Structure 1
Amino acid sequence: MARLYADEQFPRLVSQLLRNMGHDVLTVQEAGNANLGIPDDRVLAFAISNNRAVVTINRLDFIKLHRASSEHLGIIICTNDSDRPRMATRINEAITTQESLQGKLIRVVRPSS
């Protein structure tokens, strides 16, 4: 399963649901006060230094970071979904089909109504 780093705005319930699915998820809040409110490039740097892929709903900023450099362990950008179990399931499906997340930008979108 994947080692993930959930950024500050990522829904905590989805992090917990991903853990229940077997993923190792560390949240910004759990990583300590030094990580709260830091710029996105530092979020990504922290994830890299801890051998984790970033999971985020902050799509635009992390797309820019990926385009600037694919030297990371994966960025999973998600459309926010109020159906948290569905959101977690879609993330799980998107990442478990990958042999490796390294250097990849993975898009997880909410299904259209």
Structure 2
Amino acid sequence: MARFYADEQFPFPVVELLRTLGHDVLTVQEAGKAEQGIPDEEVLAFAISQERSVLTINRDDFIRLHRRNDNHCGIIVCTNNRNWEQFAARINEAVTAEESLKGKLIRVVRPVS
């Protein structure tokens, strides 16, 4: 299973569901890094130092960071989805389909209604 670092806006109910699916998820808050407005570069740098993939709904900024440098442990950018179970299941499907998340940008989008 994957090792994730969820940024400060990532929905905690999805974090809990991912944990029940066997993923190791650390949140910015649990890491003691939840200062107001932590820069995205710092989120990514901490994730790299902990060998974790970033989970975020802040798509544009993290896509930009990935394009600048793909030397990371994975970035999963997500469209926010209030159906928490579906959200977690879609992330789980996307990451388990990959042999490795290293250097990858994975997009998880909400299904069209």
Q: TM-score range by the shorter chain?
A: over 0.9
Q: CA deviation at 1:96?
A: 0.4
**Number of matched residues?**
112
* Displacement over 6 Å in runs of 4+: none
Q: Distance in 1 between matches of 2:7 and 2:112?
A: 25
Q: Distance in 2 between matches of 1:88 and 1:40?
A: 22
Q: Distance in 2 between matches of 1:35 and 1:104?
A: 25
- The residue matched to 1:30 in structure 2 has which SS? coil
5+ residue gaps in structure 1? none
Partner amino acid, structure 1, of 2:52: R
Q: Which has the higher helix share?
A: 1
Q: Distance in 2 between matches of 1:96 and 1:39?
A: 28
- The residue matched to 1:76 in structure 2 has which SS? strand
Which residue of 2 is the match for residue 8 of structure 1? 8
Q: Distance in 1 between matches of 2:64 and 2:26?
A: 23
- The residue matched to 1:44 in structure 2 has which SS? helix
> What is the TM-score of this pair, normalised by structure 1?
0.97
Which residue of 2 is the match for residue 66 of structure 1? 66
- The residue matched to 2:29 in structure 1 has which SS? helix
Q: Does 1:94 align with 2:94?
A: yes
Q: Distance in 2 between matches of 1:3 and 1:20?
A: 13
Which residue of 2 is the match for residue 76 of structure 1? 76
> What is the TM-score of this pair, normalised by structure 2?
0.97
CA deviation string 1:36-90 (max 9, x = no partner):
3310000000000001000000000000000000000000000000101000000
Q: CA deviation at 1:35?
A: 4.1
The answer on whether the counterparts of 1:35 and 1:43 sit within 8 Å (CA) in structure 2 is: no
- The residue matched to 1:31 in structure 2 has which SS? coil
- The residue matched to 1:19 in structure 2 has which SS? helix
5+ residue gaps in structure 2? none
- The residue matched to 2:43 in structure 1 has which SS? helix
| Identity of matched residues, % | 67
